[in-house]
A and B are shown apart, each in its own frame.
Chain A
Amino acid sequence: MKILIIEDNIKLLEAISEVLSAEQFLCVTADRFDSAYEKLLLYSYDILIVDINLPDGSGLDLIRAIKKHNPSTGIIVISARNSLDNKIEGLELGADDYLTKPFDMAELIARVKSLFRRCNFLGTDTVTFSDITIDVTSRTAWLSNTRIDLTKSEFEILLFFFSNPGRVLTRACIAEHIWGDNMDLVDSFDFIYSHIKNLRKKVSACGGKDIIKAVYGIGYKLETNNK
């Protein structure tokens, strides 16, 4: 699973590359339009993570190039310009997802994994952790053969945890994942707390283990030691 990351800010590029490498993706980086373009033509990648604003060109042109050269590549656009036009243009050119800076690494991982599932690189549309299986296509969660009845937000939170096992997810990060720009809607602490509480209750009602661990004062974490 090869990912080409194109971002002109070296520090951010390193952070992204490090985090995705830790998730067992093979990461190649480029911090300029020219070097990215060269790599695109020479090698093939499963996923392209591309910043729109590069000092020597537009990421949109890179999307055009890859669509011509290797159309099956999944594309995630990252941009600091929260402008609708860029977003629409990016998606029209064939980008699969759009992330606005600054984003959480947990969010990026979730998006990359989701894109992998959609492109069917992993040959499956389910995610399993511990004894719970999530069917992404039908948006249902199963414990053995029992369906766990989840609300939309609870499902999103569970999938988000499943995409980031062992990683501490802050309340703000979870809130932003579900609500996006509306994350300041309610006191996110209470809000996330109630959702997690309900989620735990529903999982344990179906006889599942309590896999979501509270990180006191910070957020939550999907416990990997329970395996």
Chain B
Amino acid sequence: MKLIEKTFLYTAIWLLPVMIIGSIYCFFMIEYIAYEETDEYLTYEMDRLKNFHKQHNALHEFHKTANLIPNKRYEKPFFKDTMLLEPGDNEMVPYRELHFSIKHEEQNYGVILRHLLPGRDDIVQGTFFIVIGLMLLIAIIIILIINLITGKIWKPFYGTLNKLINFKIDSPLPTFPVTSIKEFKALNGTLLSLLKKISDDYRNNKEFNENASHELQTHLAVIRANAEKLLNISYSNHTIGINELDKIYTASTHLSQIQKSLLLLSKINNREFSKSTKVDLCKIITLSLETFSEAAQLRDISIQTHINPVIIEMDIGLAEILINNLIKNAVKYNVQNGFLSILLNNSSLVVKNSGQPFRGDPNKLIERFARGENGNLGIGLAMVKQICEIYHFTLNYSVSDTYDHILTVYFQPAFNPF
């Protein structure tokens, strides 16, 4: 929900009690005014009649406006509410009565003056219309004001948010919109220093990785070149030590392989591959299978594929690494006369292969440097896991009772920050 929508919602919720209290207040106010006005009118009427009686000493005028009850005397005038039947629509309607007494020719007469009151239902109706009208007016004004104020006050915030959303780790630091609001200033300042730190760390990390890689690989190249040279000399002179040299040579080869993989993994981690294009997964799988088919043939591994055309939005390099590592893994840790099956559809990619008996938690194998029983799985699958994390794919690894290893990548809808 957007900020402004939330503001409207909360304002509306707070308007509700205001409306209820306002209605009750309005109702009693109208009722009070109605009584006040009626009583005032009845009092004036009483005074008028009393004056008339004093001047003319006659009661005939009284019959027109009031009820006369002979031999009745009240201590003092009083008001009373009553209901009378209105013959017109056969309904009881409220009246206000003023009872007072008057002395005429040594006889007391009780006089009752009446005036129609607005019914409670009429007051409720009136209240309803007044409150609704008012509320509509208030709502319209609040919406206008909030829109205006939000647009104005939160503008720098939205500017900052927009810059943040579009910020790429390897691009220069964004300049946030200038604002006079203290909180936004603090927010921009904090964000900027955080971004600078992240950016610097990212660049340092990248540089360190590449420099470390450069130094390591160059010196490994020296070790390898010299081991190879000695190996040839040692072989042609039939001197001892050839096996040791081979060990040095092989170890340096492995070391450089691991280093290359780690560098690649950290580059994936650093999101250095982020050129999203439409990638045809079938094509990559076909190419990858071609690369590994010879190795599969060597161990008589049968390959079955059920591949539906799938186009996915991702970096083509990462897609290749993902699929190559999955298939490579399935070929590498297979058994003689084993099988490898690949299922691809719009929702998932399943790579299933026969393998060695395995005890333990298969999910641990996805961790970097985790070891199976015959060597290190690990880095290849760690890359797969990392790529899945970047694209919010779900990766699942399970081993069946018959030692079939099943790796499933579930493609989910692309991540949307809103």
- Decide if B295 is an interface residue (CB 8 Å cutoff): yes
Nearest neighbor of A180 in chain B, beta-carbon distance = B291
- Decide if B252 is an interface residue (CB 8 Å cutoff): yes
Indicate if the CB atoms of B231 and A83 lie closer than 8 Å: no
Indicate if the CB atoms of A84 and B214 lie closer than 8 Å: no
Indicate if the CB atoms of B228 and A82 lie closer than 8 Å: no
Nearest neighbor of B263 in chain A, beta-carbon distance = A82
Given known A80-B214, A80-B218, A186-B299, contact A12–B225 (CB-CB < 8 A): yes
CB-defined contacts of B291 to chain A, threshold 8 Å:
182
Indicate if the CB atoms of B229 and A84 lie closer than 8 Å: no
Cβ proximity bits B245-256 to A, threshold 8 Å, 1 near / 0 not: 010011011001
- Decide if B328 is an interface residue (CB 8 Å cutoff): yes
Nearest neighbor of B210 in chain A, beta-carbon distance = A81
- Decide if B58 is an interface residue (CB 8 Å cutoff): no
CA distance A176 to B256 in the complex (A): 12
Indicate if the CB atoms of B213 and A9 lie closer than 8 Å: no
Nearest neighbor of A186 in chain B, beta-carbon distance = B295
CA distance A181 to B257 in the complex (A): 7
CB-defined contacts of A53 to chain B, threshold 8 Å:
214
Contacting chain B: which of A35-43, A98-106, A121-129? A98-106
- Decide if B224 is an interface residue (CB 8 Å cutoff): yes
- Decide if B235 is an interface residue (CB 8 Å cutoff): yes
Number of interface residues of A (CB under 8 A): 43
Given known A53-B214, A101-B220, contact A19–B229 (CB-CB < 8 A): yes
- Decide if B111 is an interface residue (CB 8 Å cutoff): no
Q: Given A12, A81, A172, A191, which contacts B295 in the complex, CB threshold below 8 Å?
A: A191
Indicate if the CB atoms of B331 and A185 lie closer than 8 Å: yes
Number of interface residues of B (CB under 8 A): 44
Q: Given B217, B246, B295, B317, which contacts A102 in the complex, CB threshold below 8 Å?
A: B217
Indicate if the CB atoms of B222 and A172 lie closer than 8 Å: no
CA distance A214 to B218 in the complex (A): 30
Given known A153-B294, A194-B298, contact A182–B210 (CB-CB < 8 A): no
Nearest neighbor of B256 in chain A, beta-carbon distance = A102
CB-defined contacts of B257 to chain A, threshold 8 Å:
181, 183-184
CA distance A9 to B222 in the complex (A): 9
Contacting chain B: which of A137-145, A203-211, A215-223? A215-223
Given known A170-B246, A170-B249, A172-B249, contact A83–B235 (CB-CB < 8 A): no
- Decide if A64 is an interface residue (CB 8 Å cutoff): no
- In chain B between 327 and 365, which residues have their CB closer than 8 angstroms to a CB of chain A? 328, 331-332
Cβ proximity bits A74-105 to B, threshold 8 Å, 1 near / 0 not: 00000011111000000000000000111111
Interface of B is mostly: helix
Given known A82-B263, A170-B250, A218-B231, contact A182–B225 (CB-CB < 8 A): no
- Decide if A167 is an interface residue (CB 8 Å cutoff): yes
CA distance A109 to B257 in the complex (A): 21
CA distance A4 to B270 in the complex (A): 37
CA distance A142 to B62 in the complex (A): 144
- Decide if A21 is an interface residue (CB 8 Å cutoff): no
Given known A9-B218, A101-B221, contact A182–B294 (CB-CB < 8 A): no
Q: Given A100, A151, A170, which contacts B231 in the complex, CB threshold below 8 Å?
A: A170
- Decide if B41 is an interface residue (CB 8 Å cutoff): no
CB-defined contacts of A106 to chain B, threshold 8 Å:
228
- Decide if B120 is an interface residue (CB 8 Å cutoff): no
- Decide if B65 is an interface residue (CB 8 Å cutoff): no
CA distance A53 to B217 in the complex (A): 12
Indicate if the CB atoms of B235 and A16 lie closer than 8 Å: no
CB-defined contacts of B263 to chain A, threshold 8 Å:
82
- Decide if B310 is an interface residue (CB 8 Å cutoff): no
User: Which of B219, B228, B328 neighbours the largest number of chain A CB atoms within 10 Å of its CB?
Assistant: B228
Cβ proximity bits A38-54 to B, threshold 8 Å, 1 near / 0 not: 00000000000000010
Given known A81-B214, A102-B256, A218-B246, contact A185–B221 (CB-CB < 8 A): no
CB-defined contacts of A182 to chain B, threshold 8 Å:
291-292, 324, 328
Nearest neighbor of B245 in chain A, beta-carbon distance = A218
CA distance A16 to B228 in the complex (A): 12
- Decide if A150 is an interface residue (CB 8 Å cutoff): no
Instruction: List 7 A-B pairs, Cβ < 8 Å.
Output: A11-B226, A102-B252, A103-B224, A168-B232, A186-B299, A186-B331, A218-B242
Footprint of A on B, CB under 8 Å? Answer: 210, 213-226, 228-229, 231-232, 235, 242-243, 246, 249-250, 252-253, 256-257, 260, 263-264, 267, 291-292, 294-295, 298-299, 317, 324, 328, 331-332
Which are the 4 A-B pairs with shortest beta-carbon distances? A102-B221, A15-B225, A80-B217, A80-B214
- Starting from the known contacts A82-B213, A82-B217, 14 additional A-B residue pairs (CB-CB under 8 Å) come to A15-B225, A19-B229, A80-B221, A101-B218, A101-B221, A102-B223, A102-B224, A102-B252, A102-B256, A103-B221, A105-B228, A172-B249, A190-B298, A217-B242
Footprint of B on A, CB under 8 Å? Answer: 9, 11-12, 15-16, 18-19, 53, 80-84, 100-106, 151-153, 167-168, 170, 172-173, 176, 181-186, 190-191, 194, 215, 217-219, 221
